[in-house]
Homo-oligomer: A and B are copies of this chain.
C-alpha cells in the first residue's frame, strides 16, 4: 500500500488557499515572532538554546496565527493580541517539550526531539520556564478574562494528556473517550487562542462565543486529521514518524474505527499489535491496509470534515470579508492538508 493509492481514496476537494491567511497575518506575525524570541531569552544559556531548537523549527504557528486572526476579525485596536499569541505559542511549546518527554518521542518538527539532545530534565524545566513566561505575557495585557481563558485551558490540556497517558493502551477506548481526550489536549488551546483573540479586541459576547466555537471545532478537525496522517503520511513529509501512534499503541480515531469495522475478523491482530504491542515487520502496512479497506480512514476524514464545517459555520455572524474567508479556508486546510 503506497501513499498514492491512499490518495485516490480521498474525495476530491478544492485546494484551500491558506496562503491568504498567512499573508493577512504577516505583519502581525513578525511582531509575534519578535516577542517570542525576546521572551524566551534567559541568562541561563541552555534555556534559549533548547527553546530555540523547537521554536525555530517553526511548525505551523497555527495557534498564534489563530489568535491574531480572531483579533483582526474582531477589529482589534491595540497590541494585546501579539502578547496573547506569543503566550499561546509558549504554552503550546511547553506542552510539546513535556509531551516528548512523556512519550519518549524521538522526532519533533523534523528535528531530533530536545530531550534527546539536552536531556529530559532540561526539557521539563524549560517547558516550565516557557509556561511561566506565557503567564507573564498575559499579565502584561492586563486582561483578567484572557488570563482566565488561558489558565483554564492549560489545566484542561494537562488533564487531557494524563487521560491519554492512562488510556493509551486501552483496546476498549470509545469514540466518545477519544473525542474527550482530543477536546482537552488539542482543541482546548485552539479555542482559547481564538477566544482570547476576540477578548483582546473587546468583541461582543456573541462574537467571543462564535470564535470559541470556531477554535474548538477547528482543533477537533485538526487533531483527527493529524491522527489520520499518522496512518497515511510518511516520516519525511510529516516531520515526525508516521506510524508512531501504531507503534505506541495509541488509541486514536482511525484505530478505534478500524477495530470496530473489523470486529470478529481481525481481533487477534489488534490484540497482539496494540493490546500487547508485539509488533513485527509488515504489521504497520497491514494496519494501513485495514484502515483503508474497512473504510476507517474515510470515516475518520468525514468526521474531521464535519468538525471543519461546524467551525466554518460558527463564523456566519461575521460580515463577509478577507479575514472571515481566510479563517473559513483554514478550516478546510485543517482537514485537507497532507502534513
Interface residues of chain A, those whose CB is within 8 Å of chain B, are 42-44, 46-47, 94-95, 98, 101-103, 120-122, 124-129, 131-133, 135-136, 138-139, 142, 144, 147-148, 151-152, 154-155, 157-159, 161-163, 165-166
In whole angstroms, how far apart are the Cα atoms of A329 and B19 in the complex? 65
Cβ–Cβ contact B42 & A165, under 8 A = no
Q: For A152, what are the chain B residues with a Cβ–Cβ distance below 8 Å?
A: 132, 136
Q: Which of A94, A120, A131 has the most CB of B within 10 A?
A: A131
Q: For A98, what are the chain B residues with a Cβ–Cβ distance below 8 Å?
A: 124-125, 128
Cβ–Cβ contact A142 & B144, under 8 A = yes
Q: For A43, what are the chain B residues with a Cβ–Cβ distance below 8 Å?
A: 159
CB distance from A21 to the nearest CB of B (A): 29
Identical chains bound together, number: 2
Cβ–Cβ contact A101 & B121, under 8 A = yes
A146 and chain B: residue at smallest CB distance = B139
Cβ–Cβ contact A139 & B129, under 8 A = no
Cβ–Cβ contact B133 & A155, under 8 A = yes
Name 12 extra pairs, CB < 8 A, besides A102-B120, A125-B158, A127-B128: A94-B128, A98-B128, A102-B124, A125-B161, A131-B154, A132-B152, A133-B155, A135-B135, A139-B148, A142-B144, A144-B144, A147-B147
Cβ–Cβ contact B131 & A131, under 8 A = yes
Q: For A47, what are the chain B residues with a Cβ–Cβ distance below 8 Å?
A: 159, 162
Cβ–Cβ contact B44 & A163, under 8 A = yes
In whole angstroms, how far apart are the Cα atoms of A157 and B154 in the complex? 19
Contact partner of A122 (CB less than 8 A), chosen from B148, B154, B165, is B165
A91 and chain B: residue at smallest CB distance = B132
Q: For A124, what are the chain B residues with a Cβ–Cβ distance below 8 Å?
A: 98, 101-102, 124
A143 and chain B: residue at smallest CB distance = B144
In whole angstroms, how far apart are the Cα atoms of A161 and B132 in the complex? 13
In whole angstroms, how far apart are the Cα atoms of A273 and B285 in the complex? 52
Cβ–Cβ contact B162 & A125, under 8 A = yes
In whole angstroms, how far apart are the Cα atoms of A126 and B102 in the complex? 12
Cβ–Cβ contact A154 & B139, under 8 A = no
Cβ–Cβ contact B159 & A44, under 8 A = yes
CB distance from A214 to the nearest CB of B (A): 23
In whole angstroms, how far apart are the Cα atoms of A95 and B132 in the complex? 12
A44-B159, A98-B128 known; A135 vs B154 contact (CB < 8 Å): yes
Cβ–Cβ contact A151 & B129, under 8 A = no
Q: For A120, what are the chain B residues with a Cβ–Cβ distance below 8 Å?
A: 101-102, 120
Contact partner of A132 (CB less than 8 A), chosen from B101, B122, B125, B158, is B158
